[in-house]
Each structure stands twice: as C-alpha cells, then as structure tokens.
C-alpha cells in the first residue's frame, strides 16, 4: 500500500474516532450512565454509551469503506472483501467513564494480513489525538512524537493494567511485586489504548498487560512500533492469560523475565 493510501485510511480512522467521541463527551459531562450491564464478570461493565459510540463508528465506516471488514468490542463484526479490517474500541476505559474519571478514549485501527496499517486514539479529555501509519512516525495533534532517552530499568516508569477476574488479579499482584522492586515506579490508569499511546509518546518507558483484546491494542501497538519500541508476547501461565509487553529493546528481556510469570513461592524455614 502506498503512503497516500495509508494516509487516506488514517483520515477515515480519525473521522471514526471523532464520531465516537462526539457522542461520548456530552454523556460524560452529564454524569453517570443509567443503562449499564455486566459482560464477562460483575466488574466488567458495558454502557449504552459504549454501544452508541460503536454504532456511530460502524455507520461511518460502512459509508466510507463498505468493502472492509469490521471488528468492534461490543459485538459488532462483519467480514469484508477488500482484505482490510477495522478494529474498534468505541470506549476504552469504560469503568473510568462510568465513575467520572477523565481517563478514557476511542481507539480505531485498520489492519491487513500483516497487522495494523493506520490507527487513531482520541482522548477528548485532553484534546489529544494520537495517530500513526505503518512505517511512519507517530504523532500527537500532528506533532511528531520523540521519546526522551532514559537510563536503565531502575529508572523506568512502567504502565500496566489488571484483569476483571479476581483470580487473575491475584496472580498479577504477585508479578507486580517483582516488577515494582526493579523499576522507578508503576502506573495503572485504566485505559490500555492510552497507556500504549503514552508509551509511544515517552510518558511511560514500558507497558505490559494481560487479558487485552485486539481492539484494546491494535492502534496503540502500531504507534509503539512506529516509535521504535519492541513488542513481545507474555506467555500464558496458570491464572495468567496471554498478554503483551512493550519496551525499548534494552529493557525488553529483563522486563519479560519479571512480568512473564509470577514470582516463585518462598518456602518457610
């Protein structure tokens, strides 16, 4: 695909993200959503705001890219004939949104057989639009993102997230004990897409999280790759589903060792 074609796809991604936030921002300002339901667990919530945003995005994409496939977090999905698929999180950070915490966004990416081609993450609370196209430089509000050079792992600011399932969170807590002893500090703000965008921007040095889904990470991983960061899988373990780790090359191996599995139990005596 040529650069102009990729840029055109990015324009559509940005328009789709704006279509979602135009519905979400007024709802957020008005206060708590009335229609809320649980999904995988009682703590995994979905609101009418999520559903309305996905409908608006799907409508725009159907108009602009009728031959492309679509995968949305809230159950929207269809096969296309073009070889491209849109991967959409219509409201990443739903729990924050529902509790009035201004840390949420809309994430839209388009992918081919090799992965994401273009992506947009729109944070209306800070008026920040993160964008990237494959092979290009990630941007925020049109400005190129330049990550600052920092030292070794001990100086790293690391972002993470936790699962909704209590047993998985307990295993993640064990992992976190080892990580937090080795780095400068850890942040958990509740939006995987924004965590990845902020890692690409250099606000975080690295990010890891389990139980993420394609719509959580499609656009953000593209931005991190374009920023020169390495991306690795976190292997499955008992009570620890698959996940991803994003870090500078020099930090990847030590962080993978720390975040890849729970710390071994220490026997008494």
Residue 207 sits in a domain whose CATH number is 3.40.190.80
- 125 & 12 share domain: yes
Predicted TM-score (pTM) of this structure: 0.91
- 96 & 209 share domain: no
pLDDT of residue 50: 86
Which among 144, 169, 187 is the end of a domain?
A: 144
Structure tokens at 129: 């639009």
Mean pLDDT in consecutive groups of 10 residues from the start of the chain, 269 residues: 90 98 91 55 62 94 97 82 96 92 97 96 98 97 90 93 92 94 97 98 97 96 97 92 95 93 47
pLDDT of residue 267: 35
d(CA 206, CA 200) in angstroms, rounded, equals: 9
pLDDT of residue 175: 94
Over the range 39-52, which residues count as b (16 or more CB within 10 Å of their CB) and which as e? eeeeeebbbebbbb
Domain range for residue 24?
3-144
pLDDT of residue 266: 39
Q: Indicate whether 269 belongs to any domain.
A: no
Considering only CA atoms, which of 58, 131, 46, 128 is closest in space to residue 88? Answer: 58
Q: Indicate whether 264 belongs to any domain.
A: no
Which among 112, 144, 176 is the end of a domain?
A: 144
Q: Indicate whether 113 belongs to any domain.
A: yes
pLDDT of residue 49: 86
- 10 & 138 share domain: yes
- Taking a C-beta distance cutoff of 8 angstroms, is the pair 94, 40 a contact? no
Question: Into how many domains does the chain fold?
Answer: 2
pLDDT of residue 143: 97
Over the range 181-203, which residues count as b (16 or more CB within 10 Å of their CB) and which as e? ebbeebeebbbbbbbbbbbbbbb
Q: Indicate whether 267 belongs to any domain.
A: no
Q: Indicate whether 119 belongs to any domain.
A: yes
pLDDT of residue 76: 63
Structure tokens at 163: 């699962």
- 227 & 171 share domain: yes
d(CA 158, CA 167) in angstroms, rounded, equals: 23
d(CA 144, CA 232) in angstroms, rounded, equals: 24
């Amino acid at each position: 695909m040529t650069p102009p074609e990729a840029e055109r796809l990015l324009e559509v991604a940005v328009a789709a993200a704006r279509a979602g936030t135009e519905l979400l921002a007024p709802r957020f300002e008005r206060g708590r959503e009335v229609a809320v339901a649980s999904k995988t667990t009682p703590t995994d919530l979905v609101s009418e705001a999520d559903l309305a945003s996905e409908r608006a995005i799907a409508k725009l994409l159907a108009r602009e890219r009728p031959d492309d496939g679509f995968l949305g977090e809230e159950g929207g999905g269809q096969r296309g004939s073009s070889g491209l698929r849109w991967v959409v999180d219509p409201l990443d950070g739903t729990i924050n949104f529902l509790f009035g915490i201004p840390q949420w966004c809309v994430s839209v990416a388009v992918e081919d057989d090799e992965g994401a081609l273009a992506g947009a993450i729109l944070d209306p609370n800070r008026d920040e639009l993160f964008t990237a196209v494959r092979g290009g430089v990630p941007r925020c509000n049109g400005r190129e993102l330049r990550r600052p050079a920092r030292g070794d792992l001990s100086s790293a600011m690391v972002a993470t997230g936790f699962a909704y399932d209590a047993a998985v969170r307990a295993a993640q807590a064990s992992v976190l004990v080892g990580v937090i002893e080795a780095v400068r500090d850890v942040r958990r703000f509740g939006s995987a897409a924004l965590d990845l965008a902020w890692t690409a921007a250099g606000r975080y040095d690295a990010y890891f999280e389990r139980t993420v889904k394609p719509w959580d990470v499609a656009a953000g991983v593209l931005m991190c790759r374009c920023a020169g960061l390495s991306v690795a899988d976190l292997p499955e373990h008992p009570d620890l589903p698959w996940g991803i780790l994003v870090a500078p090359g020099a930090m990847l191996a030590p962080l993978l060792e720390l975040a890849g599995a729970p710390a071994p139990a220490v026997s008494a005596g």
